[in-house]
Amino acid sequence: MKHYKYGKRKERKVAQLLRGKGASVKSSPASRSSADLTVTFPTGTKWRVQVKSSRRGQPASPSRTDLGRLKQSSTKRGATAVIAKVSPRGVEYTSARSGRKLTPPSRRRR
């Protein structure tokens, strides 16, 4: 149970950071969904985010099954599948498909 609460706390942290970028963020109830967060930026960009965290060191990557579910659900919703890795150094966003680092879009619509 301690791990679940720790993970939920980190999900809230990521949600708060993304809201700071002007995004609308919805949390999935009780880890039942393929994505922990559904994010819509003011630019219209959509992310489905799986949050991974670690108390120290590098957070684990999602399992192959979880990754597949995240990518599939993102495609259905026209969103980018994103892994948010939370460590003591901060949050790093990467594409679940390409592995490239992502940066949340800026606040303003272009």
Output the pLDDT for position 1. 55
According to CATH, what is the number of the domain 2-102?
3.40.1350.10
pLDDT in tens, 31-84: 667 899 999 999 999 999 999 988 777 888 889 999 999 999 999 999 999 999
What are the extents of the domains in the chain?
Answer: 2-102
Top pLDDT among 110 and 105 is at 105
Q: What is the pLDDT confidence band of residue 7, given thresholds at 50, 70 and 90?
A: confident
pLDDT of residue 2 exceeding 90, the answer is no
* pTM of the full structure: 0.88
Secondary structure string (H, E, C) spanning the chain: CHHHHHHHHHHHHHHHHHHHCCCEEEECHHHCCCCCEEEECCCCCEEEEEEEECCCCCCCCCCHHHHHHHHHHHHHCCCEEEEEEEECCEEEEEECCCCCEECCCCCCCC
